[in-house]
Structure 1
Amino acid sequence: MLPSSSTRLLAASRLHALTTSRIRGLATVSAANPAHSYKVVVIGGGSAGMAVTAQLALDALFRKGTRKDILMIDPSDVHYYQPLWTFVGAGLKQMKESERPMGQLVPKQAEWLKDRVSRIDPAANIVTTGSNRQIKYEYLVVAPGIKLDFEKIPGLVESLGKDGVTSNYAVQSVEKTSEFLKAFKGGNAIFTQPATPIKCAGAPQKIAYLAEELFRTRGLRPQTNVRFHTGMGKIFAIDKYAAPLTEICASRNIAVHLFSNLIALRPDAKQAVFRDVSPTASAGKETIVDYDFIHVTPPMSAPPFIRQSGLGNADGWVDVDKETTQHVKYPNVYALGDASSLPTSKTAAAAAAESAVTTHNLLRAIKNGTGPAAAYGGYTSCPLITGKGKLILAEFSGYTGKPQETFFYDQSKESALSYALTANIIPSLYWEGQVKGLWKGPGVVRRITNPFDS
């Protein structure tokens, strides 16, 4: 699952432990510089915003002088590498492996303002925060992540983390997933994916595969129905990977229900209500399914301040050129990551590739460069865990739909190597590379590891 700065539901005990036990080395939270004005303001400290902040800080332009001219705005004390949450929810990794104090990651050339953004005035180049602070900028990078709309499913907010209702997308319930799976005794185990765009689109089904494997290991499979309900019309967007995933579901008796969108929970009766969203005569029909365990992926949307600030397209995403990541109306505004309009899957891998393009083009504009602009081609990746030690490593362009695989073997087949890379190597690349501005995706590596396909 794709990391982002939008997941804010922090358990008080975890937050206290992180911020007190690791206080040494934390960056000082900014009060904004005396002029309340910065060369670059970055909204969001998730995988996209942190990568751009770090890459800017490495440039000579921002390493000179004493004034810190980069401001990153994010309200969270903790930065999460959310792709690990599937492993955490399945009991394969610990939550602490997915988190770092935000202050330890902010580069010394930048300041961090611990606040939320409430409004942007792109005509006046002003960002207003939740504490009513006004910050002026010359250039703006918008990467606030995606909004998780748990409240749009009646019955979900009050039941999340209770009586078998969980979600690996929420920090306060991801460990409950493992707890509930271990306590499961049989019955209906349901996994959902909404009809809206979401971050890490493979995550809703990854936990289904791991749960089904756990049920088999514990001898519960004969008395368990595993159901995957998705509001989408395909199990995965890219056919090369959809075909083996469909075969896996058939061979393991995982019932796949396409165009089946969760619209409500009835926690007192332990029932889930689904609506048919297919383009057929049955559209609108509702079906009620009893559940003993249910993993819910909530609908998602762009943060409201984007549309309210006049930066959004018709669907609310920051409206940018899909190649340059530059705003279509305001040339000093760039956007990347989950809140952008870039038409590709919203993943941490996409954020890495996007960050290189955004930073290059932003620095080019700041320095009045004359060289060519960098172009993003839609690269993204979705590691699809199908069991302990087994993984399909989907890599492709969301623009063309064509695979862009880093390695020489067929990544659409279940692989122990792909699993090891995802579980152990890629997290290290993230912590030691991406959030430090050093890892910008596998494009250069691919020329060596898969030269003929490149």
Structure 2
Amino acid sequence: MATHHQVLIIGGGTAGIMTAAQLLQQKISNSIAIIEPAETHFYQPAWTLVGAGTYDYEKTGKPMASIMPKGVKWIKDKATGFDPDNNAVLTLNHGAVTYDYLVVAPGLAYDFSLVLGLGDAMDKGVVCSNYTDPVHTWNVIKNFKGGTALFTQPTTPIKCGGAPQKIMYLADSHFRKTGVRDKSNVVFATAGSVIFGVKEIAKTLMKVVDRKDINLRFHHKLVAVDAEKQIAWYELAKDVTAGGCVVMSGQDEGKFIDKAFQYNYKDVKVIRDGKRYGIHYDMLHTAPPSVAPKFVKESVLVNEAGWVDVNKHTMQHNKFKNIFSLGDVAALPTAKTGAAIRKQVPVVVDNINLMIQTDKLGSKSYNGYSSCPLVTDYGKMVLAEFDYDNNFTPDPKLKQMFISDSSKEHWRLWMLKKFMLPYLYWNKMLKGIDV
């Protein structure tokens, strides 16, 4: 039997729960349903700390039933498709669920087929990821006995773009504590051309890289992982400077280094195979290649890149006016973080409120704000806050914590990450209270 709700939300993650909670809190609608199959809701930002052995994995999850806002109908099912012309979402077991307004926020999915061999290698042996199994990451870091510790990431958009390097900084500290760092090289290989897109933050991170003696390799597009031989294969996304030997393996590699490719060169074992360039690793941490969930990607709601096609300031769908999308699945040119969602939700809620009352959008506009808490050491953190134009945009509320410049490392920011943010998340944000 088909059911109807004034506001239907797909996804019981940060975006879905916060949107429902604010709609209720502001008494905008009392006919709200959330489609979500999962039994557990995780606070994923803490997984970086779990992977570094400084946070309890059990404390990062709570039963979905306990955080579902009271007054919201929980449709415990999987969404399988859309029929926007008839204002309906198709589900696996509940048939079609209809709506007046739809909020699409299922988060993203992992597509391991985009990096050959990674799916089979992931979370086994010395290959790990905080995104999928942070407990395994900690085991890998604890058991590392030296050699090349390779930290890398795919070329797709990922949750919290800074996460693949945060765990590297913490791993480096742990290696120093356990005495294996002096027989190790720490390498960060990324398809990007800089360590971070915001100048003020990049400046600080380069100092961290210098302090920790890390080798950066840019323009490295991860294409395959050979778990048996422990090689990560890359294509170089930029032509090598003519006559430079940056990609030649062996003794000449360090002689002619194109600075756009490498920073703080280290002589690690590399293999050349045609156009591909392999780095041998003794441990590998990466983020999984990320895409929109299949039922979204194959729907009429997405743009050419496969993300939900919305206006980047209003989050209203560009074709279907009663559909909104936010969070990781929305085609918003900013970092996919919970901090971004915190600023997106009030705009979506305001727009739905005015659409219900006047059939017009509100005047609130999302400027692309996102933030990435970049943990640089045990007890140190930098907070990268930025907008669509990569301007550094610090939150004035941090001044209350006596932090005058959040682009610099600070122990108070570590306290914010480890203690305050999880508290605010569970007790305020998910309950619809604006923080």
Is 1:60–2:27 an aligned residue pair? yes
Partner of 1:209: 169
C-alpha change, 1:280 and 1:291, in structure 2 (3 Å) is: closer
Query: Which of these residues, 72, 86, 92, is aligned with residue 130 of structure 1?
Result: 92
Partner of 2:413: 418
- Paired with 1:372 and 1:328, the residues of 2 have a C-alpha distance of 16
Q: Which amino acid aligns with 2:16?
A: G
Bigger CA drift: 355-364 or 267-276?
267-276
Quick check: 1:383–1:393 contact (8 Å CA) kept in 2? Answer: yes
TM-superposed deviation, 1:243: 1.4
- Paired with 2:130 and 2:388, the residues of 1 have a C-alpha distance of 24
Query: Which of these residues, 367, 370, 376, is aligned with residue 357 of structure 2?
Result: 367
Is 1:302–2:292 an aligned residue pair? yes
- Paired with 2:409 and 2:43, the residues of 1 have a C-alpha distance of 24
Partner of 1:243: 203
Q: Which amino acid aligns with 1:426?
A: L
Q: Which amino acid aligns with 1:388?
A: Y
Q: Which amino acid aligns with 1:38?
A: H
3-state SS in 2 of match to 1:111: strand
TM-superposed deviation, 1:280: 5.8
- Paired with 2:383 and 2:115, the residues of 1 have a C-alpha distance of 31
C-alpha change, 1:129 and 1:371, in structure 2 (3 Å) is: closer
C-alpha change, 1:45 and 1:399, in structure 2 (3 Å) is: farther
Gaps of 5+ in 2: 242-246, 248-260, 262-273
Gaps of 5+ in 1: 1-33, 64-68, 442-454
TM-superposed deviation, 1:210: 0.2
3-state SS in 2 of match to 1:141: strand
Bigger CA drift: 111-120 or 403-412?
403-412
Query: Which of these residues, 324, 330, 334, is aligned with residue 314 of structure 2?
Result: 324
Quick check: 1:73–1:116 contact (8 Å CA) kept in 2? Answer: yes
Is 1:290–2:280 an aligned residue pair? yes
Query: Which of these residues, 34, 37, 41, is aligned with residue 75 of structure 1?
Result: 37
- Paired with 2:430 and 2:240, the residues of 1 have a C-alpha distance of 45
Segments of 4+ in structure 1 off by > 6 A? 281-284
TM-superposed deviation, 1:59: 3.0
- Paired with 2:119 and 2:365, the residues of 1 have a C-alpha distance of 41
Q: Which amino acid aligns with 1:110?
A: V
- Paired with 1:224 and 1:183, the residues of 2 have a C-alpha distance of 13
Partner of 1:354: 344
C-alpha change, 1:288 and 1:400, in structure 2 (3 Å) is: closer
Partner of 2:160: 200
TM-superposed deviation, 1:150: 2.4
CA deviation vs aligned residue, 1:360-394 (integer Å, no higher than 9, x gap): 11111112277843111111110000000010111
- Paired with 1:196 and 1:371, the residues of 2 have a C-alpha distance of 32
Query: Which of these residues, 97, 100, 105, is aligned with residue 59 of structure 2?
Result: 97
- Count residues with an aligned counterpart: 400
Quick check: 2:47–2:60 contact (8 Å CA) kept in 1? Answer: yes
- Paired with 2:321 and 2:389, the residues of 1 have a C-alpha distance of 23
Quick check: 1:379–1:404 contact (8 Å CA) kept in 2? Answer: no
- Paired with 2:114 and 2:51, the residues of 1 have a C-alpha distance of 23
- Paired with 1:348 and 1:278, the residues of 2 have a C-alpha distance of 32
TM-superposed deviation, 1:102: 0.5
- Paired with 1:161 and 1:300, the residues of 2 have a C-alpha distance of 16
CA deviation vs aligned residue, 1:216-245 (integer Å, no higher than 9, x gap): 111111101101111122211111101111
Query: Which of these residues, 127, 131, 136, is aligned with residue 169 of structure 1?
Result: 131
3-state SS in 2 of match to 1:234: coil
TM-superposed deviation, 1:35: 5.1
Q: Which amino acid aligns with 1:380?
A: S
- Paired with 2:307 and 2:328, the residues of 1 have a C-alpha distance of 9
- Paired with 1:53 and 1:279, the residues of 2 have a C-alpha distance of 49
Quick check: 1:166–1:176 contact (8 Å CA) kept in 2? Answer: yes
- Paired with 1:366 and 1:396, the residues of 2 have a C-alpha distance of 32
Bigger CA drift: 83-92 or 391-400?
391-400
- Normalised by the length of structure 2, the TM-score is 0.88
Q: Which amino acid aligns with 2:23?
A: L
TM-superposed deviation, 1:152: 2.2
Quick check: 1:233–1:278 contact (8 Å CA) kept in 2? Answer: no
- Paired with 2:213 and 2:390, the residues of 1 have a C-alpha distance of 32
- Paired with 2:239 and 2:92, the residues of 1 have a C-alpha distance of 42
Partner of 1:179: 139
Query: Which of these residues, 422, 433, 438, is aligned with residue 433 of structure 2?
Result: 438
Quick check: 1:364–1:373 contact (8 Å CA) kept in 2? Answer: no
Quick check: 1:147–1:301 contact (8 Å CA) kept in 2? Answer: yes
- Paired with 1:180 and 1:194, the residues of 2 have a C-alpha distance of 20
Bigger CA drift: 305-314 or 324-333?
305-314
